[in-house]
Amino acid sequence: MIDSHCHMDFKDFNKNRDEVIGRARKKLSAIINSGATLGGNRKALKLSNEYKKFIYPTFGFHPIDSSKADFLVIEEVIKELHGNIEMAVGIGETGMDYFHVKDSEGRKRQEKVFNIFANLAEEYELPLIIHARDSEEQALKIVKKFNSIPDVIFHCYSGNLETAENIIDESYYLSFSTMICFSKHHQNLVKDLPLKFMVTETDSPYLSPFKGKKNEPSFVEEAVNKIAQIKEINLKEVDKVTEKNARKIFDI
């Protein structure tokens, strides 16, 4: 199994990061650590050097931050991305978050930064990892303009079924997190959508399938289990297809 989106760089793991990664190694073949800030990208790179051929970094800037960040910081992120691009397996996470950002000026800034990172994904022919919350349709319209991005993932997809089907029509992927273990909405989406365009993730340290427990990459097994249960297919089939998709997208 592969956790296609997590944040092992977050300070939540400072006390037991090695233990968490050790548990992940016993169950998973790879972790994609998604950079979301300037410091996060640097830590993601450091972790990928410490855990070669197990942790792979993507470099991005979170849309909630991009709505208010000084553009000098974003320029620094882009500069470091250029300097370390040979290590990256993807660009993101990036996108738009209309749930947390309500003001039009903040949303315009998000859209501007999203376009910058989509352009980088196209330039470097790397997959784009999209964070879209209450803005899935808008994000889809934007990314469709970039024809040379090899693959696109709508990470932790939470939109409606119609938009999900439109995303799949473009041969883009939907990532389902451990949230599927407790969210009826996500369970209904998985039931109606083809496994062929799915990958799995934890979004650790968030969205734990276990109440009162911090999420971690090894728990992606719970998402794989739940998908198999919902679709009434063999667990090994879900594992095989979602891992194959992740390996193809990130070229690992």
Task: Give this prediction's pTM.
Answer: 0.97
Q: What is the pLDDT of residues 107-129, one digit of tens each?
A: 999 999 999 999 999 999 999 99
pLDDT in tens, 188-219: 999 999 999 999 999 999 999 999 999 999 99
What per-residue confidence (pLDDT) applies to 201? 98
Enter the DSSP assignment of 196: G
Percent of the chain residues past pLDDT 90, beyond the cut: 100
Give the whole-angstrom CA distance, residue 224 versus residue 233: 11
Average pLDDT over all residues of the chain: 97
Q: What is the dihedral of CA 167, 129, 148, 77, to 10 degrees?
A: 150
Name all domains of the chain by residue range, CATH numbers in brackets.
Answer: 2-250 (3.20.20.140)
Residues 64-86: tens digit of each pLDDT: 999 999 999 999 999 999 999 99
Residue 225 pLDDT grade (very low, low, confident, very high; cuts 50, 70, 90):
very high
Range 247-251, long-range pairs (CB < 8 A, 24+ positions): 247/2, 247/30, 248/151, 249/4, 249/90, 249/127, 249/151, 249/153, 249/173, 249/199, 250/4, 250/32, 250/56, 250/89, 250/90, 250/127, 251/89
